[in-house]
Chain A
Amino acid sequence: MTTLAKDSMEAVFEGWTSTVGKPTMDSDVRMSTRNVDVHYGDKQAIYGVDLDIGKNEVLAMIGPSGCGKSTFLRTLNRMNDTIDICRITGDIILDGDNIYDKHMDVVNLRARVGMVFQKPNPFPKSIYDNVAYGPKIHGLVTRRAELDEVVETALRKASIWDEVKDRLDQPATGLSGGQQQRLCIARTIAVSPEVILMDEPCSALDPIATARIEELIAELSENYTIAIVTHSMQQAARVSHRTAYFHLGRLIEVGKTDKIFTAPEHKLTEDYITGRFG
């Protein structure tokens, strides 16, 4: 983007005051963010985002590249902590606890808010060890039999059990991309999180594997709160209950997915969803 275009884009936000739609919820809130700003050094990446994520809700976050949706997702389980220059202000509340509170242990937090990444990233270990790793490091299980059960349940919930039950001791890296991603989801749910964050989980997968993951997301939403960042608007439309549109670090519009994809209110949302140049 040229500086000129950027300046004019800034001008669009001159009068920007608040998000279109209803970013907050009245009840059944699992996570909520209030006035969240994120800075990378001198550069501000997120501008005052207020957003609630409900219980058993699938929230999709869409927006052009560099709009801050991934950054925002990663603030939800403090994955940005590893970046030294990243500074976050505002409140992020998970079930009443401020996750950036001094007393909040990040290890604990990540057991409550799990994450699935863009590229399937199983550990180069056996399938069993991949799923067992989370429960082991958190000391969730005390007996081997219990661990076996946890692993099986997690793999079943991620609907990959039938494909791997006969080769649990084989390396996870031998699985196909789609299977690897489902294994990563199984690995995440093995520590029984409350919220699962997904950062473009299907961007490296073929359409059939993508369809299976989408199916899985629908099943998981019965028990978990899911926030998913995706580049595929069709995917956001298919899997989510609510959709949030980000643009240049601002939360432009939030609404029921049905509404966002048929009659968005904000021009920027409309232009992005219909594939017009900004």
Chain B
Amino acid sequence: MDKMTFDKHTSAQFNAELEDARKHLMEMGGLVEQQIETAFKSLMEVDTDLATRAIEKDKDVNKMEITIDKQTTQILAKRNPAASDLRFIISVTKTVNELERIGDEAAKIAKQAIELADTGSGPQGYVELRHIGEKVRQMVQSALDSFARLDAEAALSVMQQDKAVDLEYGTAIRSLVTTMMEDPRSISRALNVMWALRSLERIGDHARNIAEQVIYLVKGKDVRHKKLEKVAEQVKK
């Protein structure tokens, strides 16, 4: 199939509406990326101010969600979109949903950062945390990029990364459990870290969902709950 475009509709207004929705989605993605970055930084540096800012940002993200949902509803009602337009609207709606959840998870991470700060300690020594955090941030960025560029292959690689993140998450949890068994005094701190890890892992899942939406949008194939090899096959086709 040729490169997808969302202009060239007979109705120039329709073009503008779709472009508007796309722009807002990207804007929201940017907000969420910032939020993750801030939250993660606050966790790493045990910075309460940063954490509060990350939590505050969630409000903006929520506002964006409502704005974009309104736009997509309008387009559905007025334009009866079909084919690629329909897939675009559906994937925008779902991506917005995922982004909002990512925002929620970022806020949760920030909350863990505040709790860790209250106990006066940081998550120092947890290499896995930094590693996973960095990776997940990358994933969200790539997922949004692939959406912007309508690049199914990039989306596929995001899905593949998620698998790696899941593996690393398992390892990290096991090592945390070991730490807790060795040193029961660290349990509360380790639990905070665990929650943060869990949120990061969830963010990774959401990024994967976004990537799935990108593949649906570009290829018209529903790749949710499918084996990665199968997905790869369909993307290459």
A263–B221 CB distance below 8 A? yes
A263–B87 CB distance below 8 A? yes
A261–B83 CB distance below 8 A? yes
The residue from A237, A260, A261, A276 contacting B9, defined by CB atoms under 8 A apart:
A276
Q: Point out the residues of chain B lying under 8 angstroms from A265, CB to CB.
A: 1
A15 within 8 A of B: no
Separation in Å of the A62 CB from the closest CB of chain B?
Answer: 11
A16 within 8 A of B: no
A267–B10 CB distance below 8 A? no
B77 within 8 A of A: no
A263–B83 CB distance below 8 A? yes
A276–B10 CB distance below 8 A? yes
A274–B1 CB distance below 8 A? no
Q: Which of B139-154 contact A (CB under 8 A)?
A: none
The residue from B1, B9, B219, B220 contacting A275, defined by CB atoms under 8 A apart:
B9
A274–B82 CB distance below 8 A? yes
Q: Point out the residues of chain B lying under 8 angstroms from A269, CB to CB.
A: 83
Q: Point out the residues of chain B lying under 8 angstroms from A271, CB to CB.
A: 8
CA distance A233 to B221 in the complex (A): 22
B81 within 8 A of A: yes
Q: Point out the residues of chain A lying under 8 angstroms from B14, CB to CB.
A: 275
B11–A275 CB distance below 8 A? yes
The residue from B1, B2, B8, B82 contacting A261, defined by CB atoms under 8 A apart:
B82
Separation in Å of the A110 CB from the closest CB of chain B?
Answer: 35
B82–A267 CB distance below 8 A? no
Q: Beta-carbon contacts of A219-239 to B below 8 Å, as 1s and 0s? A: 000000000000001100100
A264 within 8 A of B: yes
- For the complex of A and B, the 5 pairs showing the least CB-CB separation, nearest first, are A263-B220, A273-B82, A273-B83, A276-B8, A274-B85
Enumerate chain B interface residues (CB-CB to A < 8 A).
1-2, 8-11, 14, 80-87, 219-221
Starting from the known contacts A262-B87, A267-B2, A276-B8, 16 additional A-B residue pairs (CB-CB under 8 Å) come to A234-B80, A237-B82, A261-B82, A261-B83, A261-B86, A262-B82, A263-B87, A263-B221, A274-B81, A274-B84, A274-B85, A275-B11, A276-B10, A277-B8, A277-B9, A277-B10
A–B complex contacts, Cβ < 8 Å, 26 sampled: A260-B83, A261-B86, A262-B82, A262-B83, A262-B86, A262-B87, A262-B220, A263-B84, A263-B87, A263-B221, A264-B83, A267-B1, A267-B2, A270-B84, A271-B8, A273-B83, A274-B81, A274-B82, A274-B84, A274-B85, A275-B9, A275-B11, A275-B14, A276-B8, A276-B9, A276-B10
